[in-house]
Amino acid sequence: MDTTRPAPIAQLPQVTEPRNPGMALDLDWLRAVQANTSAIERRAATLPGRRSVKKDYQAAWLLKAVSCIDLTTLSGDDTANRVRRLCAKARQPVRADLLAALGVGGLTVGAVCVYHDMIAPAVAALEGSGLPVAAVSTGFPAGLSPFPLRVAEIGESVKAGAGEIDIVISRRHVLEGDWQALYDEMKTFREACGDAHVKAILATGELGTLRNVARASLVCMMAGADFIKTSTGKEAVNATLPVSLVMIRAIRDYHERTGFRVGYKPAGGISKAKDSLTYLALIKEELGDRWLQPDLFRFGASSLLGDIERQLEHHVTGAYSATYRHAIG
């Protein structure tokens, strides 16, 4: 990773990226896509083994990671009070004394991600912060409810105030190679979202091969996805570096061909500060600095923030604190 320190959070430029409008389904491009699994795994294996950034530079990169978190609660026992606590943490993700010691102000996470029923308390708790509420939709996590209900669910979440919609694709379309069906489904979801940005969850742990991951990534972008996302967090295998490399290179290819930037969101299993640094390094090396902004990169995480705050406290004080002192809500 380049050890250049990122710009202070409060000084980051507010860049408005034109939305990806999508394009016609290009089956010739799709059929040409291959994935060399052994080469992908070798490249991915080099990332965690490198010497990481240290001291002030590490702190700066960890603050960058915080700004790109979709702080998430997706549990069956979610309550309005839990969501309000989570939103308070989203608005002030790191203790004020630590931020003061680091000379940083204006730090928030990227968004708060909840189920549909929790949108209203989240929107109310985030009022005035500028933070969007992201809602999982379309029969999350399996995506097997009737199609009209999945489309209607998107509309209800947008109406309730969600600014971002995380949809799940039908995995069977990928496994059967029915790319037209996947394209049509994704295009309908994008249209139902209206002005709300749509993140397409591929559930990569259930797609069988890295070639399928690459092709599904391209189809979703062709159909107008604003982000592509690895996982629901509910699969047996969630975000991995090889999968991330495949999806990121699909994003790069799509940008080179169309000129539109699509965001990337790894989700599930990213819980340690050192892992967030590895993912940021991958993004910087493969896509460049522009993708290191929360409008184009997010971590889907619930426990990652606590470990990052713990590492930042160690940087400021020289001592590690107990994990329970950094609860996310």
Q: Among 70, 166, 226, 275, which one carries the catalytic annotation?
A: 166
Question: What is the DSSP secondary-structure string of 202-249?
Answer: --GGGS-SHHHHHHHHHHHHHTT-SEEE---S-SSS---HHHHHHHHH
Q: 197 with 189: CB under 8 angstroms?
A: no
273-286 helix and 304-317 helix, angle to the nearest 10 degrees: 100
Q: Among 64, 265, 284, 295, which one carries the catalytic annotation?
A: 265
Residue 28 appears among annotated catalytic residues:
no
**How would you write 46-80 as a 3-class SS string?**
CCCCCCCCCHHHHHHHHHHHHHCEEEECCCCCCCH
Residue 229 appears among annotated catalytic residues:
yes
Q: 88 with 109: CB under 8 angstroms?
A: no
Of 141, 142, 135, nearest to 117 by C-alpha is: 135
Helices (H), 68-143: 80-91, 96-102, 119-125
Helices (H), 105-224: 119-125, 147-160, 171-175, 179-193, 210-222
Q: 143 with 184: CB under 8 angstroms?
A: no
Question: What is the DSSP secondary-structure string of 7-23?
Answer: PPGGG-----PPP----
Angle 89-94-99 (CA atoms, 0-180°, nearest 5)?
145
Residue 265 appears among annotated catalytic residues:
yes
Which residues participate in catalysis according to the annotation? 166, 229, 265
